[in-house]
Chain A
């Protein structure tokens, strides 16, 4: 059986094509403003990579904040549910998930079967998200990847506000004027986000194994800060930013529920009316 999962996030779209439980193709790219078009584009890219046509795929399930804009999908599941399914497949011993993407950070407690037992979300605040990282990297005038590596070279800890991305940026400028090194500021930024995410994670309780996914999981500086903040080991699967899409594909292979199809039809009609 060939199925597909598509995660339309606030910043990026991730798509996977799965054949008999194995990922055979994947594609990603910026979501942009036109989410429906981005979803189509990166689904088509994944299909092309796999050498498949749409009709070869038995079912597509979408997830993510823009998931319902993927009107070609057969169903939709909530992003935390997709995370749970994806993580439990990759790390069967997982019991706590932290997912930090471009616009949202969340912590999820799951059962051994991958059921979502509890969740906490860093809602209307950019301070615990990839957006915060991007903003601070811009303030330091370095690419995000370089800021991540720089923070590992820091030897001291500088407390920094992580309650607000706007105040955080202003604080970075102040630290630069105080001639604090970029390495130390980079570490302060990651420590601040880790503190914020740690607070969210503690709401659901931290139980091993703790798995970190989402785009920010690829940030080595943040991961170092998070492990120090939480004082526990953090498992990061390969391609952590694709786990949501994988979870959606797993949902697709499990079967699409009637109400999901009905919901999709209603959403499609609503979107078409809005054009």
Chain B
């Protein structure tokens, strides 16, 4: 009999429904006279979504991941991108999936590629800087494109100057949007979208905090299907409501009643980077040893907003309600949005140095009571894969056993499932000394 009660989330179906609706809306947008735009998961979607009328966006990374979860389709799309554009297969795997999709005129959710009306993007990394610029060319060269720069420093360096630098670009972005679409930006919509963004980002972080409980109420594989909504449209009211009023309360209840993600939890694992999307079965493989992946800077911080408190702990960023703030006008909305994104999205910090990544990951390891780390050396994303070997040393120096395995988040040709399972078996049975659980 398992140590703890385990059951599926009640709100699981709702999460699936929201995701399916998002892609359906994007596909059908033009049929309804709505606008379509492309951008990144970290684009400040509150802004384009504040245009008058109906607007639907497509975020590039979740799309690339959706393709990556389908090995047959993914190989075709990547070969199209590599063959047509001669791009090397060490470029971002999501990017190659995305370009290949457009080149083949296929939408992985069915039908032809739905061309965008405009692109609104930010420079998350070198790949993002060129990704949609090239996508606009492949789509015919007539898709208006705007990109803003956010490389202003890590969360502890954000002051008025850095916020001004980004906000000034956002005003340019609004001019661009209005000219490109012939529609005006609705300030009331913008204000609501910024509130929703705060709720989505802060409540996801609050939900992740709950995973410090023993047993963990959520496992990482489940969390992937939950955080994704925030990567699609965190400014959407339905998404914000889901996090605040459905997921977070349910997970709190699971903690109060000791309902576990894995009934035989005996080892809490720290992960890193995106998983190999075509091989999420590796998480279920861990569970036969009672190993549950409970924490990952990527999973927590891709959409979650955090801050470091006075005791040096990672805690959720405060919502607007908790800060006692009522948004007054457009400028206030843009500043609050920028401040939240730049200060709260801790995942930007590793771009500025290994010291940041080591600090954040060791905090997570302690706070979430992790016993060991299994780190995905992700060839598909240089951004999340940077500093991983330094991080491994930092974890080992704090006494935590850590192993690595090579793979690729969205290029199944670079992941060796049998070998990875052998390495996991070795690590768990030999280094950690665990046996398979009876369940």
Closest chain A residue to B423 by CB distance? Answer: A121
Of residues 156 through 200 on chain A, the ones whose CB sits less than 8 Å from some CB of chain B are none
Which residues of A are interface residues toward B (Cβ below 8 A)? 65, 77-81, 84, 115-121, 123-124, 203, 257, 259, 262-263
Tell me the residues in window 418-439 of chain B with beta carbons closer than 8 Å to chain A beta carbons: 418-419, 422-423, 425-427, 429-431, 433, 435-436
Q: Which of A65, A81, A119 is in CB contact (< 8 Å) with B403?
A: A119
- Bound complex: CA A263 to CA B431 (Å): 19
- Given contacts A78-B425, A259-B436, are A115 and B430 in contact (CB under 8 A)? yes
A80–B424 CA distance with the chains assembled, in angstroms: 11
Say whether B426 contacts A81, CB under 8 Å: yes
Check if A79 sits within 8 Å of B422, measured CB to CB: yes
User: Is B241 part of the binding interface, using a Cβ–Cβ cutoff of 8 Å?
Assistant: no
* 13 new A-B contacts at CB < 8 Å, known A80-B430, A81-B429, A262-B436: A65-B422, A78-B423, A80-B426, A84-B430, A115-B430, A116-B430, A116-B431, A117-B401, A118-B403, A119-B426, A121-B423, A123-B416, A263-B436
Asked if B389 and A203 sit within 8 Å, CB to CB, the answer is: yes
Question: Bound state CA distance, A81 and B425, in angstroms?
Answer: 10
B396 close to A (CB within 8 Å): yes
A120 and B430 alpha carbons, distance in the complex (Å): 14
The answer to whether A124 and B416 touch across the interface, beta carbons within 8 angstroms, is yes
Interface residues of B in 107-133 (CB under 8 A from A): none
Cβ of B231 under 8 Å from chain A: no
Q: Does B414 contact A (CB under 8 A)?
A: yes
Q: CA A120 – CA B389 in complex, angstroms?
A: 11
In the bound assembly, the distance between CA atoms of A220 and B402 in angstroms comes to: 34
**Interface contact tally, CB-CB below 8 A:** 53
Mark B residues whose CB is within 8 Å of A.
389, 396, 401-406, 414, 416, 418-419, 422-423, 425-427, 429-431, 433, 435-436
Cα separation A263 to B288 with both chains bound (whole Å): 11
- In the complex, chain A residues whose CB is within 8 Å of the CB of B430: 78, 80-81, 84, 115-116
Chain A proximity of B178: nearest CB distance (Å): 49
CA A263 to CA B426, docked complex, whole Å: 14
Contacts of B436 in A (CB 8 A): 259, 262-263
| A123 interface neighbour in B396, B401, B419, B425, Cβ under 8 Å | B419
B139: min CB distance to chain A, Å: 34
Out of A78, A123, A259, name the residue touching B426 (CB < 8 Å). A78
Determine whether the beta carbon of A259 is less than 8 Å from that of B431: no
Whether B422 lies near A259 (C-beta < 8 A) is no
Closest to B428 in A: A78
Closest CB in chain A relative to B141 CB, distance in Å: 36
Q: How far is the CB of B287 from chain A (nearest CB, A)?
A: 14
B419 and A78 form a contact (CB under 8 A): no
Contact of B429 among A78, A123, A203 (CB under 8 A): A78
Contact A118 B431 (CB under 8 A): yes
**Cβ B405 vs Cβ A78 within 8 A:** no
Counting from the closest, the 3 A-B pairs by CB-CB distance are A78-B426, A116-B430, A259-B436
How far, in whole Å, are A262 and B288 apart by their CA atoms in the complex?
12
* Contact between B405 and A123, CB atoms less than 8 A apart: yes
From the candidates A65, A117, A120, name the one contacting B419 in the complex (CB within 8 A).
A65
Complex-state Cα separation, A259 to B243, whole angstroms = 40
Among B414, B418, B431, the one with the most A-chain Cβ atoms within 10 Å of its Cβ is B431
- Which chain B residues lie closer than 8 Å to A116 at the CB level? 426, 430-431
Alpha-carbon distance A123/B408, docked complex (angstroms): 13
Complex: how many Å from CA A116 to CA B422?
Answer: 14
Q: How far is the CA of A78 from the CA of B247 in the complex (A)?
A: 40
Within the assembled complex, what's the spacing in Å between the Cα atoms of A262 and B436?
10
Q: How far is the CA of A203 from the CA of B391 in the complex (A)?
A: 12
Bound Cα distance A65, B426 (Å): 12
User: Of the candidates B403, B406, B423, which one forms a contact with A124 in the assembled complex, judged by CB atoms under 8 Å apart?
Assistant: B406
With both chains docked as a complex, state the minimum distance between the C-beta of A250 and any C-beta of chain B, in angstroms: 14
Q: Which of B401, B406, B422, B435 contacts A78 (CB 8 A)?
A: B422
Q: What is the chain A residue whose CB lies nearest that of B389?
A: A203
| A65 to B406 CA separation, bound complex (whole angstroms) | 16
Nearest Cβ distance between residue B121 and chain A, in whole angstroms? 32
Given contact pairs A80-B430, A123-B406, A262-B436, A118 touches B396 in the complex (Cβ within 8 A) = yes
B-chain residues with CB within 8 Å of residue A263 when the two chains form the complex? 436
In Å, the complex CA distance between A79 and B433 comes to: 16
- A163 CB to nearest B CB, Å: 12
Residue of B nearest to A85 (CB): B430
Q: Which residues of the other chain, A, contact B389 by a CB distance below 8 angstroms? A: 203
